[in-house]
Amino acid sequence: MDRLDNAIRPYAWGSPTAIPHLLGVEPTGEPQAEMWMGAHPGAPSRTARGTLVDVIDADPKGELGAETVAKFGPQLPFLLKILAAGAPLSLQVHPDLEQARDGYADEERRGIPLDAPDRNYKDANHKPELICALTEFDGLCGFRDPVQAAGLLAGLGVDSLKPYVDLLHAHPADAALREVLTAILTADPREMARTVAEATAACTRLGGDHAPYADLAHHYPGDPGVIAAMLLNHVRLQPGEALFLGAGIPHAYLSGLGVEIMANSDNVLRCGLTPKHVDVPELLRIVRFEASEPGVLRPEASAGGEEVYETPIDEFRLSRYVLSEGGAAHDLTRDTPQILLCTAGSVTAGEHRLGPGRSVFVPADEKAEISGAGTIFRATVIV
């Protein structure tokens, strides 16, 4: 197996201290938002044999296993991250596989450069993802019941929000949510900025269920995404709890440290809380206007001490082991590729000693045994 040297992405919303604290290093003073573990071409992990992209390209079947290559092609199907949100991320959705393929092909035909600010589809893959909290973690996930959203907006006492409140009481619910989100994102920017300012003052005054939106407005003053966010469920994960975000589900991460895993894609359509491009017609084509509960996941016990976060897709499978000093070693050998990430304690993986934030890549069929006292997250695929 290969010890990984992983890139840290300095996005502006990142916490300057959470990832350094996990790694046991001094903060740089700059935001450190994500640490990437995998073979994404944007920031591949490095090994003693070269980048993980180079290692896999040299022998796809040897590194990934014949079944993984047959099912997903000659690339690692997932990207594992440590995510540290010091400020809210953009409100966003991801396409399903068919939408991604069609959208990518269409933008390629139209000659839109991959790095163009108005480009929606950077690749032809979908991007289901799972976030597992390492600390208390706040986020937004999926639409509230429209009547509940109407109550939250009405409680602000802002006259310009009354039309949205009335619409949210209409039927059917999916049409009401679509109409309100469309109205929010297409409103006159100056009028919306005034509405957001009034709503922010009310949220600050009221606190309670309104408090998270006052914080959003602090980071994104005047942004229509502040009002759009009130249509969504607010969820607070405790350490070890997780959220699965499927295609078309609007969401945003607000604060906290977590382990994130996703299909190896960079396709994002933004709904707000961002200075970046928002393609409203394409967004409305992708969003699933369905009210639902957030669906907090807790790990399910499996054989040999493994705790699995069950999801409905095959590109990734995330589980964890909580090891105790003096306990038996665990054999993790599989016929699929794996990344093992330590998040607490000190764990031995093969010949490597891993502390918090350290990780290894395990090729398919490579002997993989772990022991020690700590927590290991295991990322692999289902074939």
Tell me the catalytic residues. Answer: 270
Which residue's structure tokens are 């009130």?
A: 230
Which residue's structure tokens are 């960079």?
A: 266
Q: Could you give the residue ranges of the DSSP H alpha helices within the chain?
A: 18-23, 52-58, 60-64, 66-72, 97-109, 146-154, 162-168, 173-186, 189-206, 211-219, 225-229, 280-286
In angstroms, the Cα distances linking 119 to 107, 113, 270 are: 7, 7, 11
| Neighbouring C-beta atoms of residue 244, cutoff 10 Å | 21
Q: CB-side exposure of 165: number of CA atoms within 13 Å?
A: 13
Q: What are phi and psi of 283, to 5 degrees?
A: -60, -45
- Please tell me the distance from the alpha carbon of residue 370 to that of residue 350, in angstroms, as a whole number: 7
In angstroms, the Cα distances linking 378 to 71, 264, 290, 316, 337 are: 20, 16, 32, 10, 10
Yes or no: say if 330 and 370 are a contact pair by the CB < 8 Å rule: yes
- Please tell me the distance from the alpha carbon of residue 76 to that of residue 322, in angstroms, as a whole number: 26
Yes or no: say if 97 and 67 are a contact pair by the CB < 8 Å rule: no
Which residue's structure tokens are 């059917």?
A: 172
* Helix, strand, or coil (residue 381): coil
Yes or no: say if 37 and 46 are a contact pair by the CB < 8 Å rule: no
Which residue's structure tokens are 């969820």?
A: 235
Angle at 72 (CA atoms; ends 67, 77), nearest 5 degrees: 110
Angle at 271 (CA atoms; ends 267, 274), nearest 5 degrees: 90
